[in-house]
A = this chain, B = another copy of it.
C-alpha cells in the first residue's frame, strides 16, 4: 500500500482485507471451498483477482482465515457456565446467543456448515481438540445439574447438539425456511417467536421450570 502514517497505513490495509474476507465468506458459504473461485470472490469484492492473492497469499490461506474468524466469534457462547449457574438461565442464554450470532454472521455460519459437509478437512484438529474439550466441560456441568435434580437426566451432549442444530437451522437453511413459510426473510418478530418456542420446548423438555412472564401469550400449560 502507499506509505501513509503507520496507523492509517494499517487501517487502510485492514479495510481492504476485511472487504476481501467478507466477499470470500459470501462465496465460500454458497459454494464451498472447491466450488468457490477466486474470480467470483474478486468480483464480489470489486477488486482484480491478482489483488486478492496479493493480500491473502492463496485460496487456502483466505479460507483458513475465514474459518478462524468464525470460530473466534463463537467464543461468546456458553462461556459463563458454572455448576452453581441456573440451568434455565444458561440454556436460555445459550439459545439466544446462538440465534443472535447466526443472524449477525449468516455467511460465516454457512461457511462452517459447508466445511463440515465436505468432511471437515481443515477442521479436524479443532473439532477433535478444542471443541471436544469445550463440549466435554459443559457436559460435565450439565450432568451435575441432573445429579442434583435441577433438571432431567438427559445426555448433555445430545442437548448441546440439539440447541446447536436448532439455532443453526434458521441461518444456514434460511433459503428453505423462508420459502416454506412464504417470506423473503425472517423478520425480528419471527426470530422472537422462534427463540420463545425453543426456550419453551427445550427447557420444559429438560424438566426446567420456565421463568415467570416468559410464557406470556405463548404456550398454554395445563
Contact = CB atoms under 8 A, between A and B. Distances in A.
Interface string A103-118: 0000000100110111
Per assembly, the copies of the chain total 2
B169 A29 contact: no
Contacts of A110: 117
Given A132-B180, A154-B219, 18 more contacts: A29-B117, A34-B34, A35-B35, A113-B113, A116-B175, A123-B176, A124-B179, A131-B176, A132-B182, A146-B220, A153-B219, A154-B197, A155-B197, A158-B198, A161-B177, A162-B169, A164-B169, A201-B205
26 contacts: A29-B117, A31-B33, A32-B117, A34-B36, A114-B114, A114-B117, A117-B175, A120-B175, A124-B179, A127-B176, A127-B179, A128-B179, A128-B180, A135-B181, A152-B221, A153-B218, A154-B200, A154-B218, A154-B219, A157-B181, A158-B194, A161-B177, A162-B201, A166-B166, A202-B205, A207-B219
Contacts of A149: 220, 222
Interface string A177-220: 10111100000000001100110111111110000000000111
A31 B118 contact: yes
**Chain A interface residue bracket vs B:** 35 or more
Contacts of A118: 30-31, 35
A158 B32 contact: no
